[in-house]
Amino acid sequence: MAFKPRIESLELLILRILNTRMELTEEERRNYFNLEKGYQGEVQFDFLTEKLQSNCHILNDLLIESNNKDFQIDSTLIFQEPLYVFEVKYYQGNFIFKPDRLETLSGKIYQNPLDQLKRTKTLLRQLLQNLGYNIPIEGYVVFNNPDFFLYQAPLNEPIIYAPQLKTFMKKLNRKQSKLSIHHNKLAEKLVSLHKVVSPYSKLRAYSFEELRKGLTCSACHSFNVSLCGGKLVCYDCGCEEKIDAAVLRSVDEIKLLFPEMKITTNVVREWCVVIKSQKMIKRILKENYKVMGKKKYTYYV
C-alpha cells in the first residue's frame, strides 16, 4: 500500500462538478480535460507500483517547496537506494521530440518533460542535502499511454514508454532493498512537506444561483435521474444509488464549491431538486451531521 496515496486534487473535483453544472469556456474545459487525463495516467501508473513486492515506500503526488521554488513529483519510490522520481505523462497521439520541447504533428507545443524532470531532481537533491540525506536520485519520464508515439526520440534519455513498463517494473521487483528507520523518516518528512494549494483563487468566480441544480448520477454525472423506492436511478447508465448516499454526495459538492456556505435543509433541497420532501432531507442531514442553531436558523456541520 502506498505510504502516501493519491487523491484527486480539489481543482479537479471542483472543475468536474462545474463542467456538469455550467458552461465552461473553451480554455477552462481544456484545462479540466487535461487534469482528468493526467490523473487517469497517474492512477494507471499507481496500479503498477502498487504491485511491487520489493521493499520500498511509495509516495504519490508530492508538491514541495525547496529554495523558495515549488516542484511537483507525480510518483516517488524510496528504495534503500536510490530514490526514484517519475514524471508521468499520459499524452496521446503522435509527437515529435525537439531538444527544448515536444510538438504534436499539428504543431501544438508542449514543455519538454525531461527539462521538468531535471528541475525536479535538482530541487529535490538540494532539499535532501539540507535535510541531511545523501541518497542518490534516479528520475524517469514515463509515457504510459499505449496510444503515444514519439518521433525522433532520443536514445540515451531517461524515458520509459508504455511497452517498456513491464520490464522496468520487473527490474524494480528484483531489487534487493532493506528499508531502515532512516528511510521511514525520510518518507514521513516528504509527506509532511507536501503542500495543498487552494484552488479557489485560480478558478473564476461562480455563484450558487447560476449553477444548474439537480442530483446527478454518481457514475456518469447525468442529470437524467429519478427517485425510485429509496434509490436514485440513472436512465443513462442504469446506475443505482441509495438516496441517503446521493444526498450526502450532494452536500459534499456544495461544501466543495462553496466552503463558506451554511448547509441548511433549504440549500440542500434546492440543490437536489428531485427530492421534494423537506422531512427526508432533514432526517439525512440530522443523521450524518452535527445540528447547529435552532428552528429556522438550523444548519449542519
Cα gap 194→150, rounded to integer Å: 32
What residues from 80 to 99 belong to the interface with Zn ion (CB under 5 A)? Answer: none
Say which residues have a Cβ less than 8 Å from residue 149's Cβ, sequence separation at least 6: 93, 94, 95
Q: Which is nearer to Zn ion, 219 or 301 (CB)?
A: 219
Closest approach of Cβ 231 to Zn ion, in Å?
A: 13
Helices vs strands, H then E, count in the chain: 8, 14
Closest approach of Cβ 131 to Zn ion, in Å?
A: 47
Closest approach of Cβ 214 to Zn ion, in Å?
A: 13
Closest approach of Cβ 232 to Zn ion, in Å?
A: 10
Closest approach of Cβ 133 to Zn ion, in Å?
A: 48
Q: Which is nearer to Zn ion, 54 or 222 (CB)?
A: 222
Q: Which is nearer to Zn ion, 234 or 285 (CB)?
A: 234
Cα gap 301→291, rounded to integer Å: 7
Q: Which is nearer to Zn ion, 249 or 283 (CB)?
A: 249
Q: Which is nearer to Zn ion, 220 or 256 (CB)?
A: 220
# residues contacting Zn ion (CB under 5 A): 8
Phi, psi torsion values for 68, nearest 5 degrees: 65, 15
Closest approach of Cβ 213 to Zn ion, in Å?
A: 17
Q: Which is nearer to Zn ion, 169 or 220 (CB)?
A: 220
Provide the 8-state DSSP code for 89: E
Cα gap 173→128, rounded to integer Å: 25
Distances (CA, A) of 289 to 167, 221, 282, 299: 49, 25, 10, 9
Cα gap 146→160, rounded to integer Å: 12
Q: Does 52 bind Zn ion (CB under 5 A)?
A: no
Distances (CA, A) of 216 to 10, 24, 147, 184, 241: 19, 18, 31, 42, 11
Is the bond preceding 82 in cis, omega lying within 30 degrees of 0? yes
What residues from 193 to 252 belong to the interface with Zn ion (CB under 5 A)? Answer: 217, 219-220, 222, 234, 236-237, 239
Closest approach of Cβ 16 to Zn ion, in Å?
A: 14
Cα gap 135→28, rounded to integer Å: 40
Q: Which is nearer to Zn ion, 234 or 268 (CB)?
A: 234
Question: How would you write 242-262 as a 3-class SS string?
Answer: EHHHHHHHHHHHHHHHCCCCC
Q: Which is nearer to Zn ion, 34 or 224 (CB)?
A: 224
- C-alpha cell belonging to residue 282: 432533514
The partner residues of 78 in beta bridges, in order of sequence, read 57, 83
Residues at the site binding Zn ion, with contacts judged by CB under 5 A: 217, 219-220, 222, 234, 236-237, 239
